[in-house]
């Protein structure tokens, strides 16, 4: 199973939504996680948009990058330029 890791600054909207969307669309093919370089609370509008699209938000929470330190990821996808510069400490990824 391929492992995909989404990173943005706060892990409050873009990366959480990407995690939930990929898990919903292809969760049987990918292990998915997301984190933020400076995590905050999940944005209510992001959670609302997912719910309105019929995508589960159960267990979805903002997580710090440190929780995933040293893990291997097949794909590390940064969702903003700032996170791309700050996430060099994230585990090894085959494709970034």
80 is catalytic: yes
Q: 10: part of which helix (H) or strand (E)?
A: none
Class level of CATH domain 2-95: alpha beta
* Cα angle 17-21-25, degrees, rounded to a multiple of 5: 175
Q: What is the mean pLDDT of residues 56-77?
A: 94
Strands (E), the chain: 2-8, 30-36, 73-78, 93-95
Q: What is the mean pLDDT of residues 43-59?
A: 97
Q: What is the mean pLDDT of residues 47-73?
A: 95
Among residues 4, 8, 10, 83, which one is catalytic? 8
Domain parsing of the chain, residue ranges? 2-95
Prediction pTM value:
0.87
Among residues 21, 55, 80, 84, which one is catalytic? 80
| pLDDT range class, residue 96, cuts 50, 70, 90 | very low
């Amino acid at each position: 199973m391929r492992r995909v890791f989404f990173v943005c600054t706060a892990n409050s909207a873009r990366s959480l939504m990407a995690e939930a969307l990929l898990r919903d669309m292809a969760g049987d093919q990918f292990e998915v996680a997301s984190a933020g370089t400076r995590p905050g609370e999940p944005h209510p509008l992001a959670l609302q948009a997912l719910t309105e699209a019929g995508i589960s938000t159960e267990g979805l929470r903002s997580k710090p990058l440190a929780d995933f330190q040293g893990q291997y990821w097949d794909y590390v996808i940064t969702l903003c330029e700032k996170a791309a510069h700050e996430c060099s400490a994230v585990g090894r990824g085959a494709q970034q």
